[in-house]
Amino acid sequence: MAFDVTDFKTLISLEPHGPDVFVGVGPAYPWGRVYGGQVVAQALRAAHSTVDEGHFVHSLHAYFIRGGDCEEPIRYEVDRIRNGRSFVTRRVVARQSVGPILNLSASFQIREDQADVQECAMPTGLPGPEELPAEDWGEILERRMIPTEGAHASAWLRIAGSIAEDAITEACALAFASDDIPTEAASRSHPLHPTLTQDPDSWGKTFINASLDHTIWFHRRGRQDDWVLHDFQGHGVVGGRGLTVGQVYSREGVHLATVAQEILIRERTR
């Protein structure tokens, strides 16, 4: 069955199902499977639901285990690994009838009045989102791809509509968007990539592709219902895997997060 999920607020409104267990649903996606960013965002929301007020996520590490079914709810089971005075650690397993589809660890920290130094700078001379055509693939995420060369992919992304301005909603929204652009950057080094073969229709015929693991380090807060730059550099392919590391910036150039992802990019043999 299809679920009526057309906005981000509904997407992260998880239903409690017993102690430290939550259930979420999502929309159907054009490629058939559940979008990985949805599962990461919902798992982060579930983890945060077991954390005391005053702690904020600073990093998460996730492994995609199986492709998810859009027509089936996802069950999020939270394990309270550690409650410390400054740091709190949670583990979340996302399950469907096929078994686990995601394993996520997240760490939360209290706000500390310490040095704040930004070394990364947003690239200059980029076209603004208003200058680029819409390339959305769903109702929740707005997407404006920036023309790039080589193993590099950049885009302006924005959560559609208005979302709450609390820290966890912003973090979940960033997590949702963060799984979109890495695949493009991680795969562009491959000699059979469509941008190198000049065959735009060859992707599905040539590759079996999936996200393998995903990491986010959250540096600073920032609105995600305004345009945010996701800028990724591929780091080559080996063993059927591609790696990318990217930076996420607010439109004003504030460095919000660093994201790393490894993907499966296996050539089809039949």
- Output the tens digit of pLDDT for each of the chain's 270 residues: 668 899 999 999 999 999 999 999 999 998 889 999 999 999 999 999 999 889 999 999 999 999 999 999 999 999 999 999 999 999 999 999 999 999 999 999 999 999 999 999 999 999 999 999 999 999 999 999 999 999 999 999 999 998 988 999 999 999 999 999 999 999 888 888 877 676 767 767 778 888 999 999 999 999 999 999 999 999 999 998 999 999 999 999 999 999 999 999 888 876
What is the model's pLDDT at position 61?
98
The predicted pLDDT at position 2 comes to: 67
CATH class for the region spanning 8-111+129-267:
mainly beta
For residue 93, give every residue at least 6 positions away whose Cβ sits within 8 Å of its Cβ, in sequence order, or none: 76, 77, 79, 100, 102, 103, 104
User: Which amino acid, 177?
Assistant: A
Domain positions in the chain: 8-111+129-267
φ, ψ of residue 219 in degrees (nearest 5): -100, -50
Amino acid in position 266: R
Write down the pLDDT at residue 9: 95
pLDDT given for residue 196 in this prediction = 65
